[in-house]
Structure 1
């Protein structure tokens, strides 16, 4: 180890800057005193001092070095200096020092450099180190003086990072003096606006970047804030060095000294051209849509915002109507004479030529417009309005349909810039959203107020609109007519041809009704097959005349699939103000009149009278009573025997429904059956009768009462129900009966009406083996060409013919003709309403096989019929023992006595 004296001597030779003021000038020191004094000086030095010998071993390590590295000097003295070097570069350090020592160079001597100090605890500090090389008798020594510059390095790094952040940010930063003139700009300012510091130095920034459309009021506001030395934030349209417009947000802060005096003003400018559109234009438009603003207001807002963001633009938005024509929705900057030239533009070739059909838009200079293009017609209006060119784009829906046109107009010829292209993108999306939303609102409105099938107004809109018509009629002292129209037998169409056919018929009826209306008339669909026509103004005479026209128009043939229908309707008429002062009352009274027309035989109209109120109340009460009777199974069946004329034997029985009500008394079938059909529960009534009759026949069979079959009348509505054959089969199986034990009686109109589906049901029932009878034959529109192809077993001669057999030769001829037709077709003829023996005799002579009527027996309950059958059997047995031919007179007396 080098002796301390040698190290001190070396330090004395190397450190010329040692503080000699501590050495008394009049008392020279001895070498020992000088050495001690120098050691004390080095120990008290603020800088760290490290002395190493030629072998790189530390020979001196003062207190400041201990503080800097954190090592006690005892751990350092005599050891290789590399222990003071950061671990990561120790190998390089030794190699570097050795190479310089071997070559005798002094690259590490006499220079000052910053080095990293790795402390014993692993923390890092920075030091500024200078090294001196000293030649002594003991050899070469290297003395290093290290000053702790960690804080300086940190501050310098902070300044570097701050400068980096300032210059690399996308924001433009500008610093002005108290006079408002520029003294500094960052690199971001140059990148954003193209200006260098030389361009801006000593100038007021707002004057340099202002342009044609920079808002003067905003500039005044900026000047006021700067003069008042107040921080502020503002958005403004400025121009870069090349003249391109952009929107910025400027945040200006005042920098004061410790005395509160303004030293500088720092502005940070951010390019908000994109966010200006997305956050302002888009937000305002979306908020307007969310507030349910009218479409015209939304489009006007978009145009105004576009023109505020880019004042050099005049914006226009047009829609395309259902006929493919353009109509201006908003164009606040365009003169009215120009928009008039645009409105009504054909959406065909004109739209293609005007850019609406182009996905990328079309830029057109008016002066260069070809004479054969749509733009040619705008040359003169554009010139008069000071417009040089237009840039138009198609507004498209999400599925690609053209909804309208968005156009930017310019007062000078120019190529649209980046700002304008961004505005187009944002505005097109907003316009498409607004137009599609408006279409959705219109669709929702139609769903809410219009019938989706026919397109006619629904009940809600009908009543609301008619109330306004009523108010107007009351003010003008006019009359108004309400027609309540209900299609006849519409359910038959649905049941036989399907609901699709029913929908086709309803749509056709709607179109025919609309075709019958006058200019101020109104038609709507209530529900199902019910329509309402409002005639305004209209009195009773005009209403009936128009009603006749409507009914005639409706009756014209309509083809549904392969079937031709002739729809008819029953119509009720109510007149304002005679029959009511509000729509609900008028509808109620027209409905009552319609039921009156339907009850009178359908395909009629009826005008409301006050008497119908009482009838309607009675009908409602009667309807509720009938519904309750069906639910409580209070209807009974009576049975009327059908007798063979050849031998007086029982051919069968007909089941007839009877209803006895506590208030109404005995209600005849010709009253409650039509009501059940009108009210929609005739099928329930028929099913109940069918099941009861089959159960009763089963009970008679169990009691050995011989009745060949039971006949049941089935209404047209029930017979057109496709589920009827399955119900019959299920009922017969449950009662243990065979199909031939049941006969269904239907009217000839049903089986001959192929459109109603009755013929199809007829065939399916016949395939089961169930007997079929045409009831009231001869009273309808008989078709002999159809009759021989129908799968029926018997014809029932209507009692209207039988009643006049004795007195009317025509009645006898008709009865004979029917009997002859049936016999030739091998059908059984059953005569109804036989009341005396003369009628029986005539019928038998004409060849009629079976008869029923009061002459034989009245309809009777099941128990009475059982007794009647038993009594008849006993008497017949007695008679057969003594009589040859059947004695009708004797049997009739016995039947009546029984």
Structure 2
């Protein structure tokens, strides 16, 4: 024991047994006199502070214990401890101090005092228990729990990594943490360094470890310190950091996947506990990196087309958005490639063989473009190639070469197939400033190429774009037109060629949009067919026209027949005859007062549904009229098979037939065909008296056109009829037939 200790215990006349007990205690023991001087310092205390008793005995206790931090700063080192004994903790209290090697020590201290000797001199005994390891282990376990809970809750990986680094920095004051991820190739990426200045990261981000570095790191985790410190200092030149500690991170197969390091601004050596913290946090770091790798794999999988292995539409769109976000983005071209005749292969040989064709073409495109151009599959039989820094000449050359590589035969089930590509080309920014616009532009150009000459390419034109935009706007507005009652029917009178009496009306759809104005049927009907809205419009027209002639009839205006145009789409549904029956019953209308007008394309269809519908409609008693007769490719044999009640000669055949002998011959032939088949013949587009006279001479049954009236609204029709007394009297003379469809 020391001289001070000997003096103390001898002066107190205390048995050396107790002195030896205190000296050999496992916890640190200090005894302080009433002058705040250390008078006893046992071996455990020497180990705890890393200094000999001789170096502290006789010195104030504050050289070892910063008691003022734990007394609400009321402790004054200039005053005696005896004056402040009431402020000191009597039971275990946690305190932090620094040992001689710079390590921070967390300890629990307990204080007791006693009056010793004749003069009742007060001494203080402080017991110090080292709880540093327990403290750090507890903190590390808390960090691990926080990390694994965040991972289980699917929190953002970046936020989890930042949280880990922040908590480690709190645990090791004066340090900054960095979590690095290392790829299979050895490239380094910074997963988290929330508080490290950017200039201190220059040497680490995107650096690459050599195979020998990875091998050494795989053998010795502590080799990470040399790697990180050397790469950091080599790139930054000058740094504010003074030291670092690092540890390698490994997956279950012992592969190097990352490095966790802490950098210090302190001059002194980083303490052992910093290395222990790194080691304790390594499982959390590995879990974070593994989850990040899984997310990357999942994102990569989600970004790839499962059939071809190329980027899918979502990934392509993301890449294009990133390109457009760059302030210095140069012009580029987008080529959309459509495989011609793929659908034929699917239909004839099955979709499995169609997939083989798709995969083969995809491999050829990818191999040709290699790493020079981005290649993706949009879906179906469409691919995209992005050509950077492009002009029309470069884009033309690429389109030509891409088509050339598809000309080599592809063998499927022993057969050689030669296909081609229809290619549409657009340019950024001249053809669009958004991803949607430039992709749409390329697709429009591709459709033009496919329509005009398969195996060719077309550049996008502004005229095509305006046409597409018009279709999009009208198609969207059309969905609301029926609900908001913007559509209405106009009725064009049909006149008996012999008597001049009214024999019917044709119901024609009209649309007046509040902002777009009057939209002609020639514009919105094809769009309705393309967008699948024509069926709803046709059924609305059918019901509205049947309702209208019953309303007129209630007002003493008898219209014998109403003709309604129906699209080919309606005849693909076997519900059409039942729908017609329901409408006739609803308005108590005789079937013969309704005529359904069909086009030649419907007549030429020989599928079972169309044939069954046409037969069923005639069996109901509803008339069937073939519109625009002579303009298509109808055959006389098919004409004889369909139970038509009338044919309508198209206006094109009578526009100039007074002077054009060919038109006159065709019109006369059509009328004779109708007479031979025993069906009525209607001629539309009659505008001049001379046309009327000639058609009467040829034996035409019904005339329709502006010579008699333009299409009229339901409100205007009675006024028109009243202006022609003979027709008005004729319509009043007719009484409604009694053979209406019975309920």
Per the normalisation by structure 1, the TM-score is 0.39
Higher relative contact order (CA 8 A, sep 6+): 2
Find the structure with the greater CA-based Rg: 1
TM-score (norm: length of structure 2): 0.47
